[in-house]
Chain A
């Protein structure tokens, strides 16, 4: 149980284009999903928290107009990186909180974004 998927697993895009990453909870309902980014040999840095049906809450320093988050259902959240630049290249990971288990987060497999 508690499986989270992400799609795509890897994406390469050109500078200036937009990329959408999907995060799905496959076997549970997730009212809250989180988006992280991770640089090589660094820990996970929280970007934003999204609650189903409401606007995402962004961490300080994260541009909400650049990283668009939509959490339209209890099983799907999307992160769109708009006008991507090489410095946006990173490993993006989502996690979801299971309604039935109060505080535990389950992570997706991650998406490797490379902007050329």
Chain B
């Protein structure tokens, strides 16, 4: 069974204070690790997909990295508008019907204080 664990559950940062969110995973044959941002009362917004260890992707103040056991979402000089819950999800080689299913972690709630 695929498992995704995100830490910390909640993180408060001062504006400009860089930090990282962690996503540890256990899957049978990783076929993609996904990062999403979710604002309260909204659906998740796609950020990144990583497929292999050593891969990195960047978007504005966010940078996602991947190893064989975990992924990090680095936030550089965050702004209040970066406040949201960040979700990590994995797709394994043995995902259910259609093999496109994602298993989600519980998320990290990020609050950036001005």
Tell me the A residues contacting B by CB distance below 8 Å. 2, 4, 6, 32, 34, 42-44, 46, 49, 51, 57, 59, 91, 93, 95, 97, 103-110, 112
Tell me the B residues contacting A by CB distance below 8 Å. 31-32, 34, 36, 41-46, 49, 87, 91, 96-98, 100-102, 104-107
> 27 A–B contact pairs at CB < 8 A?
A4-B43, A32-B100, A34-B100, A34-B102, A43-B87, A43-B104, A43-B107, A44-B104, A46-B101, A49-B97, A57-B97, A57-B98, A91-B41, A95-B43, A97-B100, A103-B31, A103-B49, A103-B100, A104-B46, A105-B34, A105-B46, A105-B100, A107-B43, A109-B42, A110-B41, A110-B42, A112-B41
The smallest C-beta distance from A34 to any residue of chain B, in angstroms, reads 7
Closest A residue to B39 by beta carbon equals: A109
By a CB distance below 8 angstroms, the chain A residues around B104 are 43-44
Query: When the two chains form their complex, are residues B105 and A43 in contact, meaning their CB atoms are under 8 A apart?
Result: yes
Contact residue among B42, B87, B101, B107 (Cβ-Cβ distance under 8 Å from A34): B101
By a CB distance below 8 angstroms, the chain A residues around B49 are 103-104
Complex Cα distance A91/B31, Å?
28
Closest A residue to B99 by beta carbon equals: A103
